[in-house]
Structure 1
Amino acid sequence: MQKFTLLLLSLVLLAPLGIDLYLPTLPEIALGLNTPVTTIQTTIPIFLLVMGLGQIVAGPLVDNLGRKPIALAGLLLYLLGSVLAASATGWPQFLTARIVQGCAVCCTAVVAFSGVRDRLEGDEAARAYGFLNGALNIVPALAPMLGGFLADAFGWRAPFWFLTGYALVIGLLIVRFLPETRPAGTLAVKGIPLRQYAHILREPRFLAFTFANAGAMGMVLTYVSLAPQVLMTEGKLTALQFSIAFGANGFWIMLVSVLVNKMIRKLGRPICLAIGSLAMALGAVTMLTGMVIFPAAMQSSWPLYMLPVAISVAGLAFTVGPATSYALEPYQQQAGVASALAGFIQMAGGSSAGLLAMALPLNEKLALSTMMIVGAVLAALAWLCSKKVRGTLTALKSS
């Protein structure tokens, strides 16, 4: 099972690598493509939106054709998108490359989370989801530094050539070692299963837990998008110092995720959801308190930003694993469809909420505090729902 989980992790890593590896090179990409850096920055939410929307299509394909074929198709698309980005000579080609990569990761993400649902249930599934989400944080911990080193040595295209090589290696491993886990009784669907999606969306349980994940995702996306402005432009950190601060937070989430996996076994998933809500609320209170009690001259100090962030992202670690397992638990025969819909709500909903928070006439800290509060409220609603969970739902009818 450990080898199986690591293979799924290698697929899940494609998404954060596609974001974090090239973060330090955004100014160089803008210069190389003769495009404003603000335009290049839009490829982050575009990537996430495509990933979210694409899962609506990828889910039925995973249930109809199997996990392994769709994983390989996603890896092939990722390789193609990486080559297009590495060889881009203008903005249109670079944008196309990012859209192709977004389509790729929607396939691999659905395969990974469907695979967990195929093999595991209950607390075991929650720990697996927590491991996948926790291990993901090694990417924001190390990827910006790796991307910066590659760009310094070989230019801004080097991170995308690295992604090309990664996709190729993982593809070979998937061909050789990933088993097909689609259950024999999986319901086949024709086209986009709107009826099945509608059935799932009518379940308050599913909505409560997936929106909790979307709130946490929106909070993190807001942090990631605003961190360069707060830490580098206002806080005067160098690119290396920024990478260290950004990376330390990633390691912190990973450590908290290890703790969460142990607490799930001893205290149960509802307690973890409650702690997640409280942590995000405490992060918001800490951020707002710092804005009130410290003088203007200290507001650009990086600890006043990173301490509340560290508290709040710990809430993310406590929320995602339990919420994901609760949301997908009833759908053994529709794991691909349910995983796709959950991923769509998490990625598209989270990115949209984050973009809305950043579009409001608020400064960076207030915008992030707003998303922390939203995440805390949604996690609290998920906790309340978890206390009412009894048994599982019946299978859905095929459309």
Structure 2
Amino acid sequence: MQKLLLLLLSLVLLGPLGIDLYLPVIPFIAKGLGSPEALIQSTIPLFILVMGVGQLLTGPMVDYFGRRPMALAGVALYGIGAVMAALAQQPAIFIASRILQGLAVCCTTVALFSCVRDRLNGDDAARAFSFLNGTLNIVPALAPLAGGLLAEGFGWRAPFWALSAYSLTVLILIARGLPETRPAQTLRRLGLPVKAYLAILRQRRFLVYSLVNTGAMAMALTYVSLSSQVLMGVAQLTPLQFSVAFGANGFWIMLVSVIANRVIRKAGRPACLTIGALLMALGGLLLLTSVAWSPPGWQTHWLSYMLPVAVACSGLAFLMGPSASYALEPYPNQAGVAAALNGFVQMAGAAAVSLAFIALPLSPRLALTLVMLLGAVFAGVARRYTRRLSGTLTSLPR
């Protein structure tokens, strides 16, 4: 099982690498392509939105063709998209490359979530999801700094050549080592399973726990989208200082994820939901305090932003694994469809929430505060709902 998790980890890193590696070089990309910086910045939520919507299409394909073929196809498309970005001479080609990579990550994400659901259940699945979600935080810890250094030495195209090299490496690893985990009883039907999606969406359990991940992901996406504006614009950090602060938070989430895994093992998933909800709420209240009641000097200090973010991200580490396992647990025969819909609700919902709050006429920190508090509400509702759960398997329409 350890070998399988390491292979799945190589897949789960594709998503955050596709965002975080080029964060520090967005101004240089815009200059190199003769494009407004806002247009290049918008490719971040666009990437997330494509990841969410595209999973509705790739979910049934993962059940029909199998986990392994879809993972291979996704990694190959990801590499093609990276080469397109590296060679782009116009903004339209660059945007198209981001869309292609977003679609590629749809394939790999649904495949890896389905693999976990195929092999594990209950607390074991929650620990696997927590491990994958926690370990991938090494990307925001190191990728911005690595992307900045690559761009400084070789130009803004270098991070995308690095992504193409990484995708080639992963393609070889997956081709050689990833087994097919699809159960024999999996319901296989090619096409958009509208009835199955609607049947899942009518299940209160699925919605409750998928919205937990939506709130947590919206918090993370809002933080990432606003971080350069707050840390470099307001707090006046240099790009290197920004990368260090951003990276330190990634390592912090990794550490908390290890703790969360132990809490799942010792106390179970409900305890993790309780801790996660409280930490998310505390992060929001701390950020609100720094906005509304702290001295002006503290309001512009980078720690007034990063300390509440670190607390809320701790909540994220406790929430993601248990909520994903609770949402997918009743669907062993259509894990791909269920994982796809969970990914759609999480990614597309998070992008919508994040873009909506960013668009409000609020300061960046106040917008993030509201998203944190919304995430805490979703987690609190899920924890309350957990008390009425009983083990069930759900039959979906064919």
Question: Could you say whether these structures have the same fold, taking a TM-score greater than 0.5 normalized by the shorter chain as the test?
Answer: yes
Query: Residues 46-65 of structure 1: matches in 2 within 5 Å?
Result: 46-65=46-65
What amino acid does structure 2 have at the position aligned with 1:382?
Answer: A
- Give 1:348 deviation, angstroms: 0.4
State the 1:265 CA deviation. Answer: 1.0
The number of equivalent residue pairs is 398
Residue in structure 2 matched with residue 378 of structure 1 by the alignment: 378
**What letter matches 2:40 in structure 1?**
I
Residue 277 of structure 1 corresponds to: 277
Residues in 1 aligned to 2:63 and 2:303: alpha-carbon distance in whole angstroms: 47
Q: Report the more deviating stretch, 236-245 or 387-396.
A: 387-396
Q: Does 1:127 align with 2:108?
A: no
Give the partner amino acid of 1:155.
Answer: G
The structural deviation recorded for 1:396 is: 1.5
Which residue number corresponds to residue 89 of structure 2?
89
- Return the offset for 1:134: 0.2
User: How far, CA to CA, are the matches of 1:397 and 1:46 in structure 2?
Assistant: 32
Q: Corresponding residue for 1:357?
A: 357
Instruction: Give the Å deviation of 1:305.
Output: 0.6
CA RMSD in angstroms, aligned pairs only: 0.7
TM-score by length of 1: 0.99
CA distance in 2, matches of 1:389, 1:375: 21
Counterpart CA distance in 1 for 2:379 and 2:388 is: 15
- Name the CA distance, whole Å, in 2 between partners of 1:98 and 1:181: 29
Aligned residue number for residue 235 of structure 1: 235
Counterparts of residues 240-389 of structure 1 (less than 5 Å): 240-389=240-389
Unaligned runs of 5+ in 1: none
Residues 42-78 of structure 1 show CA distances to partners (whole Å, capped at 9, x for unaligned) of: 0001001111011000000000000011011101110
Give how far 1:5 is off: 0.3
Amino acid at match of 2:275: I
* Alpha-carbon distance, 1:293 to partner: 2.8
Contact kept, 8 Å, 2:291 with 2:366, in 1: the verdict is: no
2:68/2:178 contact within 8 Å kept: yes
Q: 1:392: how far off?
A: 1.4
Supply the distance in 2 between the matched residues of 1:294 and 1:383 (Cα, whole angstroms). Answer: 32
What is the rounded CA distance, in whole Å, between the counterparts of 1:156 and 1:387 in structure 2? 51
Identity level (%): 60
Contact 2:332 2:393 in 1 (8 A): no
- Equivalence for 2:29: 29
How far has the Cα of 1:141 moved from its partner? 0.1
Distance 2:338 2:18 in 1: 24
Distance of 2:341 and 2:292 partners within structure 1:
41
Superimposed CA distance per residue, residues 140-178 of structure 1 (whole angstroms, 9 cap, x where no aligned partner): 000001101110110000000000011111001111000
How many angstroms does 1:385 deviate by?
1.5
Q: SS at 1:113's partner residue? A: helix
What does residue range 140-219 of structure 1 map to in structure 2 within 5 Å?
A: 140-219=140-219
**2:75/2:171 contact within 8 Å kept:** yes
Find the aligned partners of 1:229 and 1:391 in 2 and give their Cα distance.
46
Measure the CA separation in 2 of the matches of 1:278 and 1:371: 14
Question: Which amino acid in 2 is paired with 1:280?
Answer: M
Pairing of 1:220-231 with structure 2 (within 5 A): 220-231=220-231
Cα deviation for residue 294 of structure 1 reads 2.0
Cα separation, 2, equivalents of 1:297 and 1:322: 39
Per-residue CA deviations over 1:178-216 (Å, capped at 9, x if unaligned) read 000000000012310000001100000000000010001
